[in-house]
Amino acid sequence: MKHVLIAAAGLAAFAAAASAAPKKAAAPVPAAPAKPAAPGPSDWRTPDPNDVLVIDTNKGRVIVELTPEIAPQNATQIRALAHEGFYDGLRFFRVIDKFMAQTGDPQNNGQGGSSKPNTPGEFTFRRSSDLPFAMAADQTVAEIGFVKSMPVASQSMALAAMTKDQKVTAWGLYCPGVVGIARDDNPDSGNSQFFLMRQAYPSLEKRYTAIGRVISGEDVVRAIKTGEPVEQPQDYMEHVHVLADMPEATRPKVRVIDDKSPWFRAEIDRVRAAKGADFTACDIDIPVEVK
């Protein structure tokens, strides 16, 4: 890289000339859009109860919305194990602050799994034009947005016309609350273990399968005792239910902001304007109500 050097003898003259030169007035910074009013009834959606996990831990309740649209085989396996009660009583054996909390191993040490076959790595998926996608940022060659509550990046849909299947490659973004599948060096070694993100961690993207996101209880995830491994006593999952399996009398009523709603569109615009060039999908909060 070339640098412009100014001789010491001429530095004072240069500075004087620069200070005397007319200065262009700074352009006014546009005000960020105001926060939208509270969402109305039509701005909410009720998630599919078959795609919601209710994880009751000794620290409190965590609710996860699965996104089988982006990782169908892994989401199906985790759901099936929850149906069977496989996760009840399992511990959070590896928990790293500002990273994630790992669980789902019957041996509680990272070496075990279920009797089901391993799952393939679904690190990316093929996005079609008919997949509901809430755009948060159009970067010309890439698009950032949401599939339900999951933050997603993809190639521009403009490229779909040039692909054989008329789709583009997309992948989940590892924002706080995103749920990923643990594996070893073999990319197709997912089974029963999963982890809940405590903070954003982009280096996991396109390397680990993302299956969903915590929509309620991220404070609980961050309260889980840390350690690698965690010293006894370890925090644990008391029960993990698929929402559809729970009796009506004890089933929590969950609704999530609709990512296709005008309210959500306005909120994206507000946050993006406030963040400017630093904006990421992880800056967007997904409102949820649980009763």
Cβ atoms of 267 and 274 within 8 Å: the answer is: no
Residue 281 belongs to some domain of the structure: yes
**What proportion of the chain, given as a percentage, has pLDDT over 70?**
89
Q: What is the DSSP string of 107-172?
A: TSSSS---SSPPB----SEEEPTTS--EEEEE-SSEEEEEETTEEEEEE-GGGGGGSTTS-EEEEE
29 belongs to a structural domain: no
Question: Can you give the pLDDT at residue 271?
Answer: 97
pLDDT the model gives residue 25: 56
pLDDT at 15 over 50: no
Q: Total structural domains in the chain?
A: 1
> Residue 255 falls within a domain, yes or no?
yes
- Going 162 to 163 to 167 to 168, the CA torsion angle's sign is negative
First CA to last CA distance, the chain? 60
For the cut 60, the answer to whether the pLDDT of residue 22 exceeds it is: no
Asked whether the predicted pLDDT for residue 4 surpasses 50, the reply is: no
In this prediction, residues 238-264 reach a mean pLDDT of 97
Give per-residue pLDDT as tens, 271-284: 999 999 999 999 99
pLDDT digits (tens, 9 = 90+) for 151-171: 999 999 999 999 999 999 999
> Does residue 28 carry a pLDDT above 80?
no
Q: Which tens digits make up the pLDDT trace of 163-218?
A: 999 999 999 999 999 999 999 999 999 999 999 999 999 999 999 999 999 999 99
- pLDDT category of residue 227 using cuts at 50, 70 and 90: very high
- Residue 200 in domain: yes
pLDDT in tens, 57-89: 999 999 999 999 999 999 999 999 999 999 999
| pLDDT interval class at 5 (50, 70, 90) | very low
Mean pLDDT, rounded, of the chain: 91
**What is residue 31's predicted lDDT score, i.e. its pLDDT?**
60
Q: What average pLDDT score do residues 248-265 get?
A: 96
Contact 78, 53 (CB under 8 A): yes
Tens digit of pLDDT for each residue in 91-119?
999 999 999 999 999 999 999 999 999 99
| Residue 145 lies inside a defined structural domain of this protein | yes
Which residue segment(s) compose the domain that 96 sits in? Answer: 42-290
Q: Is residue 18 part of a domain?
A: no
Residues 218-233, mean pLDDT to the nearest whole number: 97
Q: How far apart are CA 73 and CA 71, in angstroms?
A: 6
pTM of the model: 0.87
In a domain, 28, yes or no: no
| Max CA distance (Å), the chain | 85
Whether 21 is in a domain gets the answer: no
User: For residue 104, what is the domain's CATH number?
Assistant: 2.40.100.10
